[in-house]
A and B are shown apart, each in its own frame.
Chain A
Amino acid sequence: MAVDAKIVAQVAHLARVEIDDASVAGFATEMTNVLDLAGQMDEVDTSQVEPMAHPLHAVQRLRPDVVTESDQREAFQSQAPAVDGGYYLVPQVIE
């Protein structure tokens, strides 16, 4: 599959990554190469293989429904760029 400039721009937007126009062509080539590499697997006959969501043949372990965490807000918020009144502050988000 060939990735064009439009797809690069769209993926960049979804990932909220800023890329300058000069690097678009390079990204398009690299992404195409990655997809082509993965595409080689399409040639393998997988009709007899169960689809898997995880490479390990293991199942999820579950934990009991018990509260064991205590309030560590102060420790967490000491690393945050901006806090006020217990809230984490971010640039205004307007719907």
Chain B
Amino acid sequence: MQASTVVLGVIGADVHAVGNKILDFAFTNAGFTVINLGVMVSQEEFIEAAIESDAAAILVSSLYGHGDIDCRGLREKCQEAGIGDIRLYVGGNLVVGKADFTQVEKTFKNMGFDRVYPPSADLDEEIAEIKSDLGIG
């Protein structure tokens, strides 16, 4: 596995491109090899890209409030595809309305995500956490 390679994209029918570009920039600057799939990315595209690139993590963004339905089953599909151990991260405006974040976090962790980030997450802290998860300095 390539510890510093991550697959990045905005899941589902979500066309929010700005955050995606910022994440690409920030993770690249932090020393990651970023495979950026852009917007409107399906679960299959994330998985196929992770297989070819031997990525250590998939970073899923969702801004339009349908993250719950879009992300369901991603972990299981990774397991079926032979990359069940890959780290999964998700962040953004994951559900519609002002839901309690601890509840949102629980939902996505139950789905198999390793870490869940709210819209207010600090990008530097986020990157530091992910680096430590992946064992890179």
Chain A partners chain B: no
- Report A's interface with B, CB cutoff 8 A: none
Residues of B whose CB lies within 8 Å of any CB of A are: none
